[in-house]
Amino acid sequence: MAEIVVAERAPAPAGRWGAAPPQELLERLKDYGQEGAFALWDELAPEERDFLVRDIESIDLARIDRIVRCSLRSQGVPVPAVEPVPESSVSTVEDRTPEDKQRWWKRGLKAISEGKLAVVLLAGGQALAFLLGSHFSNFKLNEFCAYRSWLLSPLMVTFFQQGTIPCVSADGRFIMETPYKVARAPDGNGGVYAALKSQRLLDDMAGRGVKYVDCYGVDNVLVRVADPTFLGYFIDKGVSAAAKVVRKAYPQEKVGVFVQRGRGGPLSVVEYSEMDAAMTTEINQRTGRLRYCWSNVCLHMFTLDFLNQVTNSLEKDSIYHLAEKKIPSIHGYTAGLKLEQFIFDVFTYSPSTALFEILREEEFAPVKNANGATYDTPDSARLMLLRLHSRWVVAAGGFLTHSVPLYMTGVEVSPLSSYAGENLEAICRGRTFHAPSEISF
């Protein structure tokens, strides 16, 4: 019988780095228990070795080690009991007077005209910061609305990238997506704070005279960007942080809600998954409403001073949320951990927070994937916008006609014509508009 010879796999060419990984980098990995990243070095081609070395060198190993250790250690640590948000911390729609709203509107517009407001837009791992500069002084309302159509000087707009963080095993070891690449994931929407700090955007805002920062998510089609009324309320209250909130639609709605951490403690957000059935259904006997009812909808306002303080505090504490996920790896999809910060994590650090109730039908229509049962599809969210604008037109004395059921269509009011339904009488009164259509200035 003929002899069968099985050839051994030839070692990869040495390439730039030789037969062994760079010794200094290997020692640094050993310091943090991550030398397994070089486990398959001998099997890599020269260009793959180069890629792996660059990939490891791009990781701040000391920082990531601190984050992983602090986050793993925080699991199971008792947290203060939660209480409902005190009524004094919430401005409800029903309690606002026309005089309050007018005062806040004027105060907010004044701050904007003085260049004191910056806006940060969150967009899935990327973000956009823009400033409303002094050229907005003495503006009319339609001029103020123009920035919503992105009519801004390029010098006032900055795009910036949020970070990623290595995915790890339950014992904190890096998971390798390929033999020459560490698996990574975005650091969560709360990573925007670290990005603002590391890319010196907070310093840039301070240098331009900014005092307040409006922060919101891109997926809300009804968002009122840089809302003067909300800004004026925020300034009037003299707090470090504020959030627009909506009432929970029903007890089982899958939304995070604001709570107070311990009696007299700071306000923070509890995720739906952290709430037991008793907490989600508990009723305030005096009002007949849910005790834990103020839903977080990612419409936030902060002082710039607070953001500078809280970014340092978040970095010092280095506690991230751990999400158990299937991570793509050299062994296929494997169980691992993604580390994230959430946009609402900062509220725990705020010495004073105020909440501002809004109506869903006026300011909250999130666009998510259609398979998310609690969210609107892009089409239905746009319909909410059209319905809102149609109500504006009718309230301003206009009339609507339509060839399909009105709940399926509507009119759209250009932001150059109105910001929130005001000043439309001169355009709409006595006129008939056929839906669908757009009303421009």
Is the pLDDT score of 115 beyond 50?
A: yes
12-21, 174-183, 318-327: the lowest-pLDDT one: 12-21
Token pair for 439: 């009303």
Categorize the per-residue pLDDT at 144 as very low, low, confident or very high, splitting at 50, 70 and 90. Answer: very low
3-state secondary structure of 115: coil
Is the pLDDT score of 91 beyond 90?
A: yes
Who's near 216: CB < 8 A, 6+ residues apart?
119, 120, 121, 122, 223, 225, 298, 299, 300
- Structural domains of the chain, with CATH: 23-74 (no CATH), 82-362 (3.90.550.10), 378-439 (2.10.10)
Question: Distances from the Cα of 184 to the Cαs of 38, 176, 411, in angstroms?
Answer: 16, 9, 44
Question: Distances from the Cα of 362 to the Cαs of 24, 81, 129, in angstroms?
Answer: 58, 34, 24
Q: What pLDDT does residue 134 have?
A: 42
Is the pLDDT score of 111 beyond 90?
A: yes
59-68, 80-89, 133-142, 328-337: the lowest-pLDDT one: 133-142
Q: Establish how many alpha carbons lie within 13 A of residue 143's alpha carbon, considering only the half-sphere containing its beta carbon.
A: 12
Q: What pLDDT does residue 288 have?
A: 87
The mean pLDDT of the chain is: 86
DSSP 88: G
Q: Give the pTM.
A: 0.86
Categorize the per-residue pLDDT at 407 as very low, low, confident or very high, splitting at 50, 70 and 90. Answer: low
What percent of the chain has a predicted confidence (pLDDT) above 90? 65
60-74, 111-125, 149-163: the lowest-pLDDT one: 149-163
Is the pLDDT score of 403 beyond 80?
A: no
Q: What pLDDT does residue 310 have?
A: 97
Angstrom distance (rounded) from CA 150 to CA 164: 28
Preceding peptide of 86 cis, ω within 30°: no
Categorize the per-residue pLDDT at 3 as very low, low, confident or very high, splitting at 50, 70 and 90. Answer: very low
Q: What digits encode the pLDDT tens for the residues 303-346?
A: 999 999 999 999 999 999 999 999 999 999 999 999 999 999 99
Q: What pLDDT does residue 140 have?
A: 37
**Secondary structure element (H or E) that encloses residue 300, with its range:** strand 294-303
Residue whose C-alpha is closest to residue 420's, from 209, 188, 136, 223 = 223
Q: What pLDDT does residue 376 have?
A: 52
Q: What digits encode the pLDDT tens for the residues 422-440?
A: 989 999 999 999 888 888 8
Residue of higher predicted confidence among 305 and 145: 305
Q: What digits encode the pLDDT tens for the residues 216-244?
A: 988 888 999 999 999 999 999 999 999 99
Q: What pLDDT does residue 80 have?
A: 80
Categorize the per-residue pLDDT at 146 as very low, low, confident or very high, splitting at 50, 70 and 90. Answer: very low
Q: What pLDDT does residue 373 have?
A: 44
